[in-house]
């Protein structure tokens, strides 16, 4: 009985419990401030600023990744092109030799063996050109074109009044491009202006 009575005495009245849970004046001020329009606007502005910062960071990271991806693809393409160019340069002298061999034969030789050789040359050249085309190798245009030092190599000149100065008269060795880049310059003979006759000068 005494213990039950003591336990009853330790309980706080309901009024005291309510007072204990009620906010203090400082807490009331803080809660009131958090509910004020100024505080809400300030909080909203802070959230928007943080959102914009994260969005800008995301855009920068996306741009960096896109630049990295493009750089990686470009490096891969450059490496592949360099490897193909090395292979093509090794094949071009073989093609040159085959074309010279074909040029040494008549177009319609009477000897059956020579006809067989010619057909063999034609087949070999056709197949080799097909392989080079797969690599992206294309032949440069020369005869009749204006000399271009970026893709042509002048190894001879010829004085003539029949063609304009600087035009290509003859192709001495074929030139090639690979994917629009110079693989090998064409060796050519270029027209050089001749001296006018005295009669033409008087006119």
Q: What is the pLDDT along the chain (203 residues), one digit of tens a residue?
A: 445 545 445 554 555 545 555 556 666 666 666 667 777 788 888 888 888 888 888 989 899 999 989 999 989 989 999 999 999 999 999 999 999 988 888 777 778 888 888 898 899 999 999 999 999 999 999 998 999 999 999 999 999 888 888 899 999 999 999 988 999 999 999 998 876 444 443 33
Rounded to whole angstroms, the Cα distance separating 111 from 101 reads: 16
Longest pairwise C-alpha distance within the chain: 152
Contact 178, 85 (CB under 8 A): yes
Rounded to whole angstroms, the Cα distance separating 74 from 17 reads: 75
Residue ranges of domains in the chain, CATH in brackets: 137-194 (2.30.22.10)
The reported pTM is 0.63
Kindly calculate the radius of gyration of the chain based on its CA atoms and give it in whole angstroms.
44
Helix 112-134 to helix 37-103 angle, to the nearest 10 degrees?
170
DSSP element (H, E) containing 116 = helix 112-134
CB within 8 A of 33, min separation 6: which ones? 39
pLDDT of residue 21: 53
Contact 85, 183 (CB under 8 A): yes
Residue carrying structure tokens 């009331």: 28
Residues 34-70: b if buried by 16+ CB within 10 A, e if exposed? eeeeeeeeeeeeeeeeeeeeeeeeeeeeeeeeeeeee
């Amino acid at each position: 009985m005494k213990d039950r009575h003591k336990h009853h005495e330790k309980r706080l009245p309901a009024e005291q419990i309510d007072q204990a849970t009620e906010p203090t004046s400082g807490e009331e001020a803080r809660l009131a401030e958090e509910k004020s329009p100024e505080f809400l606007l300030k909080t909203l502005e802070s959230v928007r600023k943080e959102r914009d910062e994260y969005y800008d960071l995301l855009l920068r990271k996306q741009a960096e990744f896109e630049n990295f991806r493009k750089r990686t693809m470009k490096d891969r393409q450059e490496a592949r092109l360099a490897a193909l160019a090395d292979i093509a340069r090794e094949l071009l002298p073989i093609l040159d030799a085959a074309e010279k061999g074909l040029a040494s034969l008549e177009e319609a030789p009477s000897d059956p063996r020579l006809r067989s050789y010619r057909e063999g040359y034609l087949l070999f050249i056709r197949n080799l050109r097909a392989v080079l085309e797969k690599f992206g190798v294309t032949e440069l245009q020369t005869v009749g074109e204006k000399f271009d030092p970026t893709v042509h190599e002048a190894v001879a000149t010829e004085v003539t009044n029949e063609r304009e100065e600087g035009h290509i008269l003859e192709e001495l060795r074929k030139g090639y491009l690979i994917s629009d880049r110079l693989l090998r310059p064409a060796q050519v003979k270029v027209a050089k202006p001749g001296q006018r006759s005295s009669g033409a000068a008087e006119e």
